[in-house]
Amino acid sequence: MRKKNSRLLSMVLAAATSMTMLAGCGGAATPNESGVDTNTSTEQAGTEATTEEVSQVEVNLGSYSEAPMLADQVSAGTLPAVEERIPDADNVFVETVDATGAHLEIGNYGGVINLAGAGGGWGLSRPTLESIIRYNTDGSYYPNVIKAFDHNDDYTEWTFHLREGMKWSDGEPFTADDITFWYYMCHLSNFDSKKNGWPALKEEVDGEDAWAKLTKVDDYTVTWTFVNPKYPADFIENGDFKWCWAPAHYLSDLIPDSEDFPYVENEYWQSTGLSEEEVLANAQKKGIDAATVKDLGKAVSYNFWNTSGLPTLNSFVLSTVPGNSSKDDTLCIMDRNPYFWKVDAAGNQLPYVDALHFNTTSEDGQDLLMFRSGEIDIITIAMKDISATLGDLGDAAELREWGTTNWGSYQITFNYTNTDENYATLFANPDFREAMSICVDRKQVSELLSDGFLEPGQAAPAEGNIGYDEEWATKWTEYDVDKAKSLLEGCGLVMGSDGFYDFADGSDFMLTFLAYDGGADESYPVFEQYYKAVGINCALKNLEVAAFDEQIDNNDWVAVMGPHTAIGGASLKDRAAPFVPIAQSSEWYGEYGTYYQTKGAQGVEPTGDMAKLVEIYDKWRSTSDEAERDAYQEQIYQIHKDNLWSLAYLKAENSYELINSKIKNYADNLVWADCYQYANMTHYEVLFKAE
């Protein structure tokens, strides 16, 4: 992904992907307007050129095969036959290529993939979650859990078509009822705590928040209806909108009708009439231990992969064996979903491996030791450890490089909404930012902080990403102390008797950088010498992350080294908040974002280019025209290029993984990004261990 030619190749292959699925599974991934659109129309020539290659993927779904462990259960009579468990050829998902578009090998069944501990709320979901759509490395996407989607001409009505014959991991059919149940009983009642947090299903009508109307057309079709047009970027492509289903048959006695979680009137489901206490007691009977209904809601309808016993549509489901059934267990096991609805080109039901084992460790480095001794198969590894480890392990391990969507490493940013007028005025002056950027010798920083691995750079999209611009990526990167000094003086700073600059009114100028969890402990001393050398007095204040966030939220800060929510990302549509000041989120816009989020009730009203960002963003949101949207996005990128509200000193760092070389079908050059759900892009269901 980082190199231009490999990107082109992946685009071509990705285009081939959807064509393959179209050709191979007779409507399994029915292409529709949006689906084809995203395969970048500019690559049409490439698409045609590869049609021959496409036909080479032979899809043979004459009959299904299954893992021996499941076959045993079938012959023992404890599990229905595979044909009854998964959808027929017209509805099953046939997985033939990886996220880069490369063809997959037909694998063998069995074995276990050992991973490091899952940690966090999302750890178990990354390798296992099946979402509404799935992305390729080039940003194109295709329907995943749903069979197809389409919309009417003015984008007010979106229709999801489901896969007939698809089942939950406990064998119950997955139908439109599971979607209406999720929407009305779990989401709109705010049982999942996300009613207000998910913009995909929300719109504004007469200045008030309003939510889509969901209609069940038949058992396998639902329609979302909006008052205003709802464009793809705000709906199907929205990074938060990963699922819209919940197992109604399992959850029906866990939904309360209480003051905090009131029943939402709808034509599909009646109020359960259960009190919060009854619901918690019912949950406990199912082995779900929750402190509050809010915790319960999150456990069963939000981070549902963490809840043992809960049916899912994912490739692997959490074990129910005590001691292995929680992400906090030393060994957490996720077993294959016997009802998983994907097959390979030869009709073998996926996943190939029997289970994923998550091995919780308590210290950094333990996972590397376990990888070396063969107890873990896949680990994320720091750049500096790669050569030594590969040198020792030889052919037993392989390297996988993940592209990044980050905008540069070693970022700093300033509080443009600082309540002290002196600071606010200074930061608003681009000359100050230029001075802060060019007063640092990036080559030396690269040597000191990354052993020369990371090249000098700026806070800009990395090569191979949308918006990459060489001029931007090298803007203000030339080391020039004299120029920096004259720029600072041009900003009205006056050299004081202590050798540091003061404000024009004589008050001290002190640049106190906030950092969290020791993130700048190593790098700050390096930068400090440069800042002090040009006459900027500075200090580092390291805080525990919660205290850090609190100080940012209270607008009680001057500058940040290593922001918690860094500027930029893959593209505007994947997550807009780091690009434009629309939420209480990113440090580089501080209170400006609060202003937009609270509709002007709190925060500081943006002006100048900051205001322009919001203006263009609103236009970007409300147009259906792809080309027009790209143009708006370009404008937003241009404004960022002009202003550089965040500075970076080195290029963004890619991520690396080492894998046991027995593991096959693990693509290289994937993209490590939130919008792609990180490791989800690996498609764990198709990994297998060569015998």
Partner 1 sequence: MAKKSFVGNLKAFFEKDLVQYIVKRVLMFIPTLLLISILVFFVIQLPPGDYVSAHIAALATEGELVDADYAASMREDYGLDLPVWQQYIKWVKDIIWTPSDTPYYRLYHSHHNWKYSFAYGRDVWSVVNDRLGLTIGVTFIIMLFQYLVSIPIAVYASTHQYSVGDYISAIIGFLGTAIPNFILAIVLMYLSYRWTGNANVGLFTQEMLKNGVHLYNFGDFMKRMIIPIVVIGTSGTCGIIRSVRAQMLDEVARQYTLTARAKGVPEGKIIMKYCFRAAINPTVSGLGGVLSSLFSGSTVTAMVLNMQIQGPVLYKALQSQDMYLAGAIVMIQAVLVVIGVLLSDIALAFLDPRIRYSGGNR
Give CA torsion, residues 495, 499, 505, 507, to 10 deg. Answer: 160
Pairing of strands 213-218, 221-225: antiparallel
Taking each helix axis from N to C end, the angle separating 276-285 and 293-301, rounded to the nearest 10 degrees, works out to 50
Could you say which of 26, 31, 80, 121 contacts partner 1 (CB under 8 A)? 121
Q: Are strands 112-116 and 355-359 parallel, antiparallel or unpaired?
A: parallel
Interface mask (CB under 8 A) for partner 1, residues 620-659, using x and -? Answer: ----------------------------------------
Bridge-based pairing state of the strands 397-404 and 670-672: parallel
Cβ nearer to partner 1, comparing 549 with 615: 549
Check residue 193 for interaction with partner 1 (CB under 8 A): yes
* Least spacing, CB of residue 466 vs partner 1, in Å: 19
Collapsed DSSP state (helix, strand, coil) of residue 332: strand
> Closer to partner 1 at the Cβ: 361 or 624?
361
The pattern of x and - marking residues 341 through 360 that bind partner 1 according to CB under 8 A reads ----------------x-xx
DSSP class of residue 103? B
**Which CB, 103 or 372, lies closer to partner 1?**
372
Q: Does 372 bind partner 1 (CB under 8 A)?
A: yes
Residues between 88 and 117 that touch partner 1 (CB under 8 A): 114
Closest separation between CB of residue 329 and partner 1, Å?
Answer: 8
Which of 2, 40, 90, 122 binds partner 1 (CB under 8 A)? It is 122
What is the smallest separation between the CB atom of 322 and partner 1, expressed in angstroms? 10
> DSSP assignment of 167-204, as one string?
B-TTSPBP-HHHHHIIIIIIITTTTTS-TTT-GGGEEE
Q: Which is nearer to partner 1, 244 or 536 (CB)?
A: 244
Spell 392-412 as b/e; 16+ CB within 10 A means b: ebeeebbebbbbbbbbbbbbb
Q: How many whole angstroms separate alpha carbon 557 and alpha carbon 417?
A: 10
Among 196, 320, 486, 529, binds partner 1 (CB under 8 A): 196
- Is position 370 an interface residue for partner 1 (rule: CB under 8 A)? yes
Is 205 within 8 Å of 271 (Cβ atoms)? Answer: no
265 to 304, contacts with partner 1 by CB under 8 A? 277, 280-281, 284, 289-292, 294-295, 299
- The minimum distance between CB 427 and partner 1, in angstroms, equals 23
Of the candidates 160, 183, 548, 579, which one interacts with partner 1 according to CB under 8 A?
548
- DSSP secondary structure string for all residues of 524-563: HHHHHHHHHHHT-EEEEEEE-HHHHHHHHHTT--SEEES-
3-state DSSP assignment of residue 649: strand
Smallest gap from Cβ 638 to partner 1, in A, equals 26
Rounded Cα gap, residues 488 and 432, in angstroms: 6
How many residues form the binding site for partner 1 (CB under 8 A)?
57
| The one segment of 150-158, 497-505, 548-556, 659-667 that binds partner 1 by CB under 8 A | 548-556
Site string for partner 1, 141-180 (x = CB under 8 A): ----------------------------------------
Tokens read off for 519: 């993130």
String of contacts with partner 1 for each residue 473-512, x by CB under 8 A: ----------------------------------------
CB 652 → partner 1: shortest distance, Å?
Answer: 16
User: Per-residue string for binding with partner 1, 320-339, x by CB under 8 A?
Assistant: -x-xx---xxxx-x------
Q: Is 393 one of the binding residues for partner 1 (CB under 8 A)?
A: no
Q: How far is the CB of 360 from partner 1 (least distance, A)?
A: 8
Q: By the 8 A CB rule, do 272 and 252 touch? A: yes
- Please compute Rg for the chain using Cα positions: 26
Q: Identify the three-state secondary structure at position 160.
A: strand
**Using rule CB under 8 A, residue 554 touches partner 1:** no
Shortest Cβ 584–partner 1 spacing (Å)? 8
* Sole binder of partner 1 in the list 58, 62, 76, 362 (CB under 8 A): 362
Least distance (Å) from partner 1 to the CB of residue 373?
4
DSSP 603: S
Would you count residue 556 as binding partner 1 (CB under 8 A)? no
Site for partner 1 in 26-65 (CB under 8 A): none
CB hemisphere CA count around 493 (13 angstroms): 29
Which one, 8 or 545, has the nearer CB to partner 1? 545
459 contacts 568 by C-beta, under 8 angstroms: yes
Q: Supply φ then ψ for residue 369, to 5 degrees.
A: -60, -40
Grouping H, G, I as helix, E, B as strand and the rest as coil, residue 656 is strand
- CB burial string 278-308: b at 16+ within 10 A, e below: ebbebbeebebebeebbebbbbbbbbbbbbb
Is there binding between residue 201 and partner 1 (CB under 8 A)? no
CA distances to 6, 19, 159, 684 from 15, rounded to whole Å, are 14, 7, 23, 22
Q: Which is nearer to partner 1, 167 or 575 (CB)?
A: 575
Residues that bind partner 1 (CB under 8 A): 114, 120-122, 193, 196-197, 260, 277, 280-281, 284, 289-292, 294-295, 299, 321, 323-324, 328-331, 333, 357, 359-363, 366, 369-370, 372-375, 516, 543-550, 564-565, 575, 577, 583-585, 674
